[in-house]
């Protein structure tokens, strides 16, 4: 009898009749995946259907959902209780901190019971009449999925451009609204990225076109209001499919820029925002100039204000990056040799970003695994923004305009809700603008956060952020949930979650492992966790678990693990490598079929990722990736209880990866532990849309975890 059903019977509950049926069994169909370095059999390859209409495939996914419903039925009351707790901590009629831009104050606000925000503005002051730009709850009515990915108002404050997704596949449709009349214009642009920029003429919008098959962004186009999308002018086309593409305006508003980025190199092209882009001419020709031509292993980003550009760059071997400057008109573009140091490189401090203001520069950096901010003034004064907790994270809030002495920033920790401060750089005075309300009697003083250092098997010290409720005893009896990501140089910072409180209040420990593959400890931390060093990500996670168990934070058989996307790859690899260290695992939208996906350049985003995972057409990378790919390493052995989630319309990790993985696990694993597969048939990579609906998924996975770990309900 499987564990959740056994728990239900032990509690005096009847197992649902539907559970008497066997778990869904996917058919095995011979299929050979060929590669230059060898061929492999993939008996579940047939589950892949790019149209998402194959009746046999859909029947299997629906059967998995029905099975999950049956298996998790005994936890339904617990799920409802968890959902009520989580939603009960959220102030329903909440609003964001307004910010000022070109004479208007912009903000979002939620109405009680509504899943989506109202985007609004007021002219001149917050006491002025409200202008509703987008009522997203009304727009989402009747739709299974809805998201506004980006919005931007024209320079004359009249026309709103916004990107809308009603499928969940991140293929946005750009629409326009006349804010003076409230009329939605006839113009529509399909298959676009959610990244829009206006030119100074107030009629031209730049956007990034998305290939409808590969979902790659390879072309920048200009749309002129009142003309069909088919007539949009090609501004720039990128031939190298390993590069991502984005758009932006400089801090001065003087330039429009195209940002091109691969895993290991970048390039930025900028043009005067007031140029006449409607004229005919060579795409990307005289209008857009290159700040510095792309060179492998050179990454940079530049911004302009006043008479200079400031560039964050790893030029000259600055692995942790530095800030440099060049004159706006006095320096020849395209020559990093003419750049001059503003903030030199450091082996101990990683520069993550910066923002320019008329009287100072704000720097976003990492030191000791923590993210902090500091300000630099022209007189050479450097000041850090203070924190009172051992584990926290800071970041820039919305600083829409540079002509201010004040810096807005966000602050959070595992115990402190998201907080927005404004500090006056001239006087040092700090003002609290907003702390996200947490209802239901939550008091940060009732919880404790710690910063720990676990020793990995190669001697590396790995930072760990831990939180628990006061009164917790490190006697080795508690249940624990450990989370991590560890890929793409994305750092997992300790931040507050209203959901996690439900675990802490039940006596659990929550831990965030800052494993290699992120950039918590600087660029070398990432270099040691990707390509041929990727296994360090997995072993770090395992070693953190063993450290915490040994230190008394949890009992060995009461540990759960959670990760999503590339963090789902982490879950799959760890399940193969150390299944006995975990009682339960949650793998959301997991990237688990590494080799097959990376061999297929028709799959969205594959070519962008060769410098992250390696190109399996190279025998060296093929062998290494194959050695850890979760799908390829499923064995006939016992695995932890598993909750696997995906979205049918996922554009980042295709649904068929976890579908195949679950099918192979069912066929091979020797244990009787729970294995459920939840497929959201109306969502993509981020799960369900809406403020509250996503917490239904959280409550379901948490109910699974609590039941498996034997936590008191």
**Calpha distance 59→64 (Å, rounded):** 9
In this structure, the number of other CB atoms found within 10 A of the CB of residue 544 comes to 25
For the record, the structure tokens of 556 come out as 């060995």
Locate all alpha helices (DSSP H) within 320-417, ordered by sequence: none
CB 146 within 8 A of CB 162: no
**Calpha distance 711→469 (Å, rounded):** 15
For the record, the structure tokens of 216 come out as 């790659």
Could you say which DSSP state residue 203 is in?
A: S
In 64-112, the DSSP E strands lie at 99-101, 104-109
Q: Which of 253, 285, 251, 252 is nearest to 269 (CA)?
A: 285
Contacts of 333 (CB under 8 A, 6+ apart): 289, 290, 291, 292
- At residue 631, what are phi and psi to the nearest 5 degrees? -60, -40
**Calpha distance 617→603 (Å, rounded):** 15
CA distances from 245 to 194, 237, 241, 292 (A): 11, 10, 10, 16
**Calpha distance 410→706 (Å, rounded):** 32
What order do you get walking across the sheet with 130-135 strand by strand? Answer: 99-101, 104-109, 118-123, 130-135
Q: Which residues pair with 449 in a beta bridge?
A: 467
In 76-182, the DSSP E strands lie at 99-101, 104-109, 118-123, 130-135, 147-153, 159-165, 172-178
In 494-588, the DSSP E strands lie at 509-513, 559-564, 584-588
Distance of CA 161 to the CA centre of its chain: 24
Answer positive or negative: Cα dihedral of 327, 332, 334, 340.
negative
**Calpha distance 292→305 (Å, rounded):** 18
Q: Which of 609, 521, 533, 614 is nearest to 565 (CA)?
A: 609
Could you say which DSSP state residue 477 is in?
A: -
**Calpha distance 137→693 (Å, rounded):** 13
Active site residues: 565, 650, 685
Instruction: Give the DSSP per-residue string, 151-197.
Output: EEE-TTS-EEEEEEESSSSS-EEEEEEETTTTEEEEEEEEEEEEEEE
**Calpha distance 378→530 (Å, rounded):** 39
């Amino acid at each position: 009898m499987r564990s959740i059903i056994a728990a239900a019977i032990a509690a005096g509950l009847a197992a649902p009749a539907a559970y008497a049926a066997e778990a869904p069994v996917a058919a095995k169909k011979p299929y050979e995946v060929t590669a230059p370095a060898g061929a492999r059999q993939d008996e579940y390859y047939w589950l892949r259907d790019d149209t998402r209409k194959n009746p046999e495939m859909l029947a299997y996914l629906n059967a998995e959902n029905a099975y999950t419903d049956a298996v998790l039925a005994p936890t339904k009351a617990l799920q409802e209780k968890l959902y009520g707790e989580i939603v009960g901590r959220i102030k329903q009629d909440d609003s964001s901190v307004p910010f000022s831009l070109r004479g208007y104050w912009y903000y979002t606000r939620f109405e009680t019971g509504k899943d989506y925000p109202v985007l609004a503005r007021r002219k001149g002051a917050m006491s002025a009449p409200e202008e509703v730009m987008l009522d997203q709850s009304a727009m989402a009515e009747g739709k299974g999925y809805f998201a506004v990915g980006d919005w931007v108002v024209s320079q004359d404050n009249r026309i709103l451009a916004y990107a809308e997704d009603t499928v969940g596949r991140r293929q946005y449709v750009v629409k326009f609204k006349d804010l003076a009349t409230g009329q939605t214009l006839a113009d529509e642009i399909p298959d676009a990225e959610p990244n829009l920029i206006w030119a100074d003429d107030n009629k031209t919008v730049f956007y990034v076109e998305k290939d409808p098959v590969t979902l790659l962004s390879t072309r920048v186009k200009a749309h002129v209001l009142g003309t069909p999308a088919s007539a949009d002018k090609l501004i720039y086309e990128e031939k190298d499919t390993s590069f991502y593409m984005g758009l932006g305006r400089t801090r001065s508003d003087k330039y429009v820029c195209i940002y091109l980025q691969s895993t290991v190199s970048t390039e930025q092209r900028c043009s005067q925002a007031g140029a006449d882009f409607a004229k005919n001419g060579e795409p990307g020709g005289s209008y857009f100039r290159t700040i510095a031509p792309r060179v492998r292993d050179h990454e940079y980003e530049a911004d302009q204000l006043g008479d200079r550009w400031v560039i964050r760059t790893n030029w000259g071997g600055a692995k942790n990056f530095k800030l440099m400057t060049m004159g706006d008109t006095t320096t020849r573009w395209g020559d990093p040799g003419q750049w001059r140091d503003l903030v030199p490189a450091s082996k101990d401090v990683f520069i993550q970003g910066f923002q320019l203001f008329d009287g100072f520069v704000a720097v976003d950096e990492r030191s000791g695994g923590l993210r902090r901010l500091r300000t630099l003034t022209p007189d050479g004064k450097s000041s850090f923004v203070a924190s009172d907790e051992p584990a926290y994270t800071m970041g820039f809030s919305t600083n829409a305009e540079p002509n201010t002495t004040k810096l807005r920033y966000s602050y959070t920790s595992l115990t402190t809700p998201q907080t927005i401060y404004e500090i006056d750089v001239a006087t040092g005075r700090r003002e609290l603008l907003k702390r996200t309300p947490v209802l239901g009697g939550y008091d940060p003083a009732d919880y404790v956060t710690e910063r720990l250092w676990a020793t990995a098997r190669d001697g590396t010290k790995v930072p760990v952020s831990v939180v628990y409720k006061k009164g917790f005893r490190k006697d080795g009896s508690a249940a624990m949930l450990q989370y991590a990501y560890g890929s793409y140089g994305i750092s997992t910072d300790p931040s507050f979650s209203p959901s996690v409180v439900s675990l802490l209040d039940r006596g659990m420990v929550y831990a965030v492992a800052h494993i290699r593959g992120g950039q918590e400890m600087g660029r070398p931390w990432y270099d040691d966790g990707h390509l041929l060093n990727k296994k360090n990500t997995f072993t770090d996670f395992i070693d953190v678990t063993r450290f915490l168990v040994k230190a008394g934070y949890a009992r060995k058989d009461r540990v759960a693990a959670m990760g999503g996307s590339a963090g789902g790859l982490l879950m799959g690899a760890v399940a193969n490598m150390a299944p006995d260290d975990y009682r339960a695992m949650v793998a959301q939208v997991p990237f688990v079929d590494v080799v097959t996906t990376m061999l297929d350049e028709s799959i969205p985003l594959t070519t962008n990722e060769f410098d992250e995972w390696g190109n399996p057409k190279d025998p060296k990378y093929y062998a290494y990736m194959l050695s850890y790919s979760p799908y390829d390493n499923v064995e006939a052995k016992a695995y932890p209880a598993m909750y696997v989630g995906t979205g049918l319309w996922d554009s980042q990790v295709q649904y068929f990866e976890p579908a195949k993985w679950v099918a192979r696990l069912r066929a091979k694993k020797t244990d009787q532990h729970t294995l459920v597969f939840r497929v959201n048939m109306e969502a993509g990579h981020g799960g369900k849309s809406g403020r509250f609906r996503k917490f239904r998924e959280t409550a379901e996975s948490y109910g699974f975890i609590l039941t498996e770990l034997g936590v008191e309900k």
